[in-house]
Amino acid sequence: MDKYQHILVAVDFFEKCDAVVKRAKDVATNYQAKLSIIHVVDSLPMITAGYGADIPLNIDLTTELMAEAKKRLHKLAVELSVSEDNVWLEMGSPKTEIVRVAEENKVDLIVVGSHGRHGLALLLGSTANGVLHHTRCDVLAVRLQDD
Ligand code: AMP
């Protein structure tokens, strides 16, 4: 089997994402592969109100989320010695953006957590599942344990 050359790690910045990042870094080091990082800010984040209405968050909040995500991504890139050229901050559907960036940049392995904000209720989180079913490259789902 060919060696992996370009690995993309999908980071949601939830508390367990460190394990995903660490595994991606280890695999990249072992294969001497390029490591890239992606974070996707949902384009229309929603607050689901108890009385049944879905309220879109306002545009200022979306801008703030992008700014905060940019800072966190920059910090992570420095920690991992990943150049800014290999850091993607996108807006939209996480699954769709991860698959698109991977395809456009000849990524041959995507690393995701087995779940994130959706918890273990879904054995394989919806993003991990969506990426697995829509990309043509290999996907490594790092199993995250709930406490
Ligand atoms: P989830 O679908 O929320 O259970 O997340 C599963 C995994 O998908 C996470 O551990 C991350 O690796 C990845 N992921 C989820 N949401 C995002 C996001 N907004 N940006 C980048 N990666 C994400």
CB count, 10 Å around CB of 119?
11
53-108: pLDDT as tens digits? 566 666 677 888 899 999 999 999 999 999 999 999 999 999 999 999 999 999 99
CATH of domain 6-44+57-143: 3.40.50.620
Q: What separation in Å is there between the alpha carbon of 106 and the centre of ligand 1?
A: 20
Burial annotation 65-89 (CB, 10 A radius, 16+ → b, else e): eeeebeeebeebbeebebeeebbbb
Q: What separation in Å is there between the alpha carbon of 129 and the centre of ligand 1?
A: 10
Answer yes or no: is the C-beta of 143 below 6 A from any ligand 1 atom: no
Sorted by where each begins, the domain ranges of the chain are: 6-44+57-143
Whose C-alpha lies nearest to ligand 1, atom 16? 12
pTM of the predicted protein model: 0.88
Predicted local confidence at residue 14, as pLDDT:
86
Compute the Cα dihedral for 145, 140, 106, 101 and give only its sign: negative
- CA angle, corner 37, sides to 32 and 40, nearest 5? 160
Predicted local confidence at residue 60, as pLDDT:
74
Predicted local confidence at residue 90, as pLDDT:
96
Which atom of ligand 1 is the closest one to the Cα of 118?
4
